[in-house]
Amino acid sequence: MTSIPANYQPAADLLRDRVILVTGAGQGLGRAVALSCAAHGATVALLGRKQDKLEATYDAIVEAGHGEPALVPLDLATAGEAEFDGLANLLKRDLKGLSGIAHCASHFIPLRPLADHTWEQWNLLLRVNLTAPFALTRACLPLLARKPGSSVVFTGETHGDEPKAFWGGFAVAKAGLAALATVWGDELEGPGRPRMNLLVPGPINSPQRAQSHPGEDRSRLRSVEAASRGFLWLLGSDSSDITAETLRL
């Protein structure tokens, strides 16, 4: 398994002139990745379910003196092909293209045996964590193909890589993302084609971690800001020869 270079320090203009779409940009890892991309020169499209949280991320980017981002309110739990095609058209019209996607949105439920998953819970876990990243990327693929060095980063999870009891549909969906990145990366392998990779950030101090590990001393975890450097590496030109890989921080 490939790893992000130790002590990686991205250039200040790593993502200059690039448009990066970040899902789950309203909080946690997605917010940190959006802020990091903007700080390194990208125009960021902020996708999330809650308008107020997206606006807070928007304000933080603008107040830091970075380029003005775009707001893309969209609920991945209910979006269908028409909504994803509409998103791609919006990016083409308003932002003139797309250079990368950071898939940070996720859906999680408290740990339980597989037999205790309801039909609705199972479908929602797979829809948000696996089906939506596929459908969104497929809709945006023509835009990505027009931009040299374009890159898609799916967010994995330790229990997708090493499944364990009670992690249920969440682990299954994350394992599916690893296969998705590998298959798609192999299909598109070649100079100038979009790269597809999966990043497993490990235990990080995020809202999802607070759900899965209540009572944990979160001060001992890697910050979401530190984790965002892995996304920068994969989205930028420093990893130009990396595709169809699962990587760990």
Please write the tens of the pLDDT for every residue from 149-183: 999 999 999 877 888 999 899 999 999 999 999 99
Strand-by-strand arrangement of the 245-248 sheet: 2-3, 245-248, 195-200, 151-155, 100-103, 19-23, 43-48, 70-73
Q: Count CA atoms closer than 13 A to 8's CA, side-chain side.
A: 18
Is residue 6 included in any domain, yes or no?
A: no
Mean pLDDT of 82-107: 97
The domain containing residue 195 runs over which residues? 12-248
Number of domains making up the chain: 1
Residue whose pair of structure tokens reads 């028409």 in the numeric block: 82
Q: What is the rounded distance in angstroms from the CA atom of residue 229 to the CA atom of residue 176?
A: 24
Q: Is residue 2 in some structural domain?
A: no
Residue 112 lies in a domain: yes
For 117-144, letters b (16+ CB in 10 Å) and e give beeebbebbbbbbbbbbbbbbebbbebb
Instruction: Let me know if residue 152 belongs to a domain.
Output: yes
Across residues 22-32, what is the average pLDDT?
96
Q: Please report whether residue 226 resides in a domain.
A: yes
- pTM assigned to the model: 0.94
Of the candidates 55, 45, 139, the one whose C-alpha atom is nearest the C-alpha of residue 96 is 45
Q: At 96, which CATH number?
A: 3.40.50.720
In a domain, 132, yes or no: yes
Q: Are 32 and 61 in contact (CB under 8 A)?
A: no
Among positive and negative, which fits the CA dihedral 170, 175, 176, 177?
positive
Which residues, in sequence order, are bridge partners of residue 245? 197
Give the pLDDT confidence score for residue 190 in this predicted structure. Answer: 82
The answer as to whether 243 is a domain residue is yes
Residue 206 carries which DSSP code? S
Domain membership of residue 184 (yes or no) is yes
Classify 160 as helix, strand or coil. helix
pLDDT digits (tens, 9 = 90+) for 5-17: 888 999 999 999 9
Rounded-to-integer distance, Cα 40 and Cα 19, Å: 11
Give the closest residue to 151 by CA, choosing from 8, 22, 46.
Answer: 22
